Amino acid sequence: MNQTGEDLDTLVLNKERAGRKKLALGMYFHVPFCSTTCDFCAFYQEKPSKKGIESYFRGLEMELSRFPPDRAVSTIFIGGGTPGLLQSDDLERLCKLINSTGLEKSYEWSIELAPSEINPEKLQVLKGQGVNRISMGVQTFNPTFMDALGRKHPVDKIYQAYQWIRDADFPSVNLDLLFGAPGQTLADWEADLAQAVDLQPDHLSTYCLTFEEDTAMYVRLAEGKVDIDPEREARFYEFAWDYLPAHGYEQYEVSNYAKPGHPCQHNLNTWGMNEWIGYGPSACSQYQGVRRKNIANLEEWEAGLQPEGTPQFMEQEKLGSIDFARDAVLFGLRMNQGIDLGQIATQFDLQMRVFAESAHFLERLCHEGLAEKDGSDAFRLSKQGRILCDAIACDLPELAGV
């Protein structure tokens, strides 16, 4: 169901909370263009065209002036889609728009780039505009699995693009890897991890292939041509959990690893239930007590932002402290450092009794070997618990209302 910006304006926004706590603020920009659709991808994207790109920039300018950040921004993430499909002058235009908003003195500014779209000219533009973190979508170094995933770039492109990124001297570089492709063995996964480690990026994200509806991969699943094997997926996860820390990458979340000083601040901001504003079709925001998702349609998104239009949202929900606290628990349990219920209570101005059932639940997990206690109110999942973290999240009791 679509909801409108007028609905949003009538909501009692939780400005006091944002102001009082001085939550960190991030911005996310969704660039909705891809030249082809990867077989596993369910993100909103469409083929780039001059008309579409112009429409995107018109919408973005209006969206930024209609929903400007109310304070300095500490993290920026340009994702997609394929932001690297934009030519250098359009990348510069996008970055200048971002720079026209207030940024904290020390900020993290990431952009996702696909290997085949990277060139030295674009990298120079991004660096000159203040981008300081490149996230490259490698997925796999194995041509067979690259083909199975519907990725079109040749493997050589990865190495060339990575060299250009390093030559441009960006302070932080992430590589995204995907595991669980049909037919991939543990030895294949080890080979991918070894090749990634050889490049010595600062950060690695390792995601399990998921079968999202309306993707080519999902159709193959429905036709019985591929299957889901949770035990195999668990073995792949566990392998990375041992392999990457042994090679200098500290795990800080189920799927994320970093060298010292390089965890992704934008992700930490999100998982810590701080605030961010999403710009572009299908972008999500969590801001001033409201979580919402922009309409996933370039034309309708732009039309809604016109002076006479009404911004269109696919989802929109006003949330209270209890909702944010519960999500802080859920996301916190995915992190290696775990959660401190006392700290979460303080962050969201809640009393500890709100967490009574959750604490009992977590104590029970400790007895079952799925969690460990780290202090009087602090818990983290054990290795076995992290394998089951999705199931644990489903079973976590609701927080009691105040």
By CB under 6 A, which span of 2-10, 11-19, 35-43, 252-260 interacts with ligand SF4?
Answer: 35-43
* 41 binds ligand SF4 per the rule CB under 6 A: yes
* 80 binds ligand SF4 per the rule CB under 6 A: yes
By CB under 6 A, which span of 30-38, 174-182, 233-241, 373-381 interacts with ligand SF4?
Answer: 30-38
Nearer to ligand SF4, 114 or 298 (CB): 114
Nearer to ligand SF4, 45 or 347 (CB): 45
Nearer to ligand SF4, 75 or 82 (CB): 82
Q: Nearest distance from residue 212's CB to ligand SF4, in Å?
A: 10
Nearer to ligand SF4, 34 or 333 (CB): 34
Q: Which of 4, 13, 21, 37 binds ligand SF4 (CB under 6 A)?
A: 37
Q: Nearest distance from residue 154's CB to ligand SF4, in Å?
A: 15
By CB under 6 A, which span of 76-84, 90-98, 303-311, 391-399 interacts with ligand SF4?
Answer: 76-84
* 175 binds ligand SF4 per the rule CB under 6 A: no
Number of residues that bind ligand SF4 (CB under 6 A): 10
Q: Which of 26, 48, 59, 81 binds ligand SF4 (CB under 6 A)?
A: 81
Answer yes or no: are the C-beta atoms of 119 and 89 closer than 8 Å. no
By CB under 6 A, which span of 33-41, 164-172, 225-233, 282-290 interacts with ligand SF4?
Answer: 33-41
Contacts (CB under 6 A) with ligand SF4, residues 311-370:
none
Q: Which of 23, 24, 25, 34 binds ligand SF4 (CB under 6 A)?
A: 34
Put residue 4 in one of left, alpha, beta given phi > 0 → left and psi -120 to 50 → alpha. Answer: beta
Give CA–CA dist 208/225, Å, rounded: 18
* 43 binds ligand SF4 per the rule CB under 6 A: yes
Nearer to ligand SF4, 209 or 268 (CB): 209
* 45 binds ligand SF4 per the rule CB under 6 A: yes
User: How far is CA 262 from each of CA 89, 96, 120, 254, rounded to the nearest angstrom?
Assistant: 29, 25, 23, 16
Residues 6+ apart with CB under 8 A from 126: 91, 95, 111, 134
Nearer to ligand SF4, 139 or 358 (CB): 139
Residues 6+ apart with CB under 8 A from 241: 251, 383, 386
Q: Nearest distance from residue 6's CB to ligand SF4, in Å?
A: 31
Instruction: Please identify the residue of the shown chain whose CB is closest to the bound ligand SF4.
Output: 41
The residue whose two tokens read 């709100």 is: 354
DSSP secondary structure string for all residues of 287-354: ETTEEEEE-S-HHHHHHHHSTTS--EEEEEEE--HHHHHHHHHHHHHTBTT-EEHHHHHHHTT--GGG
Q: Nearest distance from residue 68's CB to ligand SF4, in Å?
A: 27
Tokens (6 digits) for 320: 């209270």
By CB under 6 A, which span of 65-73, 80-88, 262-270, 295-303 interacts with ligand SF4?
Answer: 80-88
Give the residue among 46, 111, 48, 109 at the shortest CA–CA distance from 78: 111
Residue length of the chain: 402
**Interface characters, 103-132, with ligand SF4 (x: CB under 6 A):** -----------x------------------
Is cis: bond before 19, omega within 30 of 0? no
- Residues pairing with 317 in the sheet: 291
Give CA–CA dist 247/306, Å, rounded: 51
Q: Which long-range contacts (CB under 8 A, 24 or more apart) does 19-25 make?
A: 21/347, 22/71, 23/274, 23/275, 24/74, 24/75, 24/269, 24/272, 24/274, 24/275, 25/69, 25/70, 25/71, 25/72, 25/73, 25/74, 25/274, 25/275, 25/276, 25/277, 25/287
Give CA–CA dist 29/301, Å, rounded: 14
By CB under 6 A, which span of 31-39, 193-201, 233-241, 330-338 interacts with ligand SF4?
Answer: 31-39
Q: Which of 25, 38, 136, 341 binds ligand SF4 (CB under 6 A)?
A: 38
Give CA–CA dist 201/115, Å, rounded: 14
Give the residue among 241, 234, 257 at the shortest CA–CA distance from 387: 234
Chain contacts with ligand SF4 (rule: CB under 6 A): 34, 37-38, 41, 43, 45, 80-82, 114
